[in-house]
Structure 1
Amino acid sequence: MTSNQYLTFRLDQETFALEIGKVREIFDFSHLTRIPRTPDFMRGVINLRGNVVPVVDLRLAFGLGSTPQTVNTCIIISEVLVDGHPILLGALADAVQEVISLEGAQIEPAPPLAGHDRTGFIHGMGKVDEGFIIILDIDGIFSTEQLVDFQADASPRLQDLAV
């Protein structure tokens, strides 16, 4: 049976994972340069050895509130495909935990929510001990469709503004 390795990290009270092959580096949280007129979850950019790397706040994108800056806050640099083009992207995490191995039988499909495929960015649910680890599809998170959904979810809806 084949096992895959995943980097686990915390967002709020949940444990998430990324396929280790997508992770390039892990950095301590550093100064971010904010880019005007970008969604709130796009926290800014960092200078990575002379390259501009966008940094996103996955907690904000997932509706979990902003990632607080603590001694454990870090930026996970991943290579993602955006519209078929590879780019480096940083993702804020509350804390990086460990690298784990999961067998195929330990991974369940993502659950559909309320009849909508709102979980397209979840590769699967890793069964570990008595709980689950949410395995993210980092390319799926940053697909054009998913980014539009995130931005729409973060924006006030017209019906919410109506008196």
Structure 2
Amino acid sequence: MLKKFAAATALLAAASGAFAAEPPSLYAGVDVSSTKVHNYDRDGGYGAFLGYRFNESFAVEGGYHRLADTEYRTGPLRAEVTLDQLDLAVIGSLPLSAGFDVYGRLGYNRLTADADVAGFSAREHDNNVLYGVGLGYAFTPVIHARLEVQKPSSDATRILAGVAFRF
């Protein structure tokens, strides 16, 4: 019995070292957000992202996010407006203690606004620099949470909470 226990302990110790040696580099995740555009109400959104960590301090990430999906009414007129973001950014991360890290984001994003009013529709695109700062926490080597503030354009601020799964 003691030999089996010793063998199982040795096997477990060897396996845990292999898993802890290098964190996975490909990751994917989802987020929920609140976006405030100048002169408009704050609106909820959601998104998905895919990234690659080159090391503990540097990653590249792309994503799609619905920043707003709003309906406005003025008398008999009704307008439906959506705001979408497609982005690609580099992320620099600074590890702190106990699984925490702070990070900065710098990249490109394409915002698309769609509006439907009284049967007429319009679409507008805007290309901008995307930047943001955030705080992350690794629950495990595979599950990572984040809180972030982003500026997708000069008149918009996005606050988000997300979770990433590392492969």
Shorter-normalised TM range: under 0.3
**Bigger RCO (CA 8 Å, 6+ sep):** 1
TM-score, normalization by structure 2: 0.22
Q: Which structure has greater helix proportion?
A: 1
Q: Which structure has greater strand proportion?
A: 2
TM-score, normalization by structure 1: 0.22
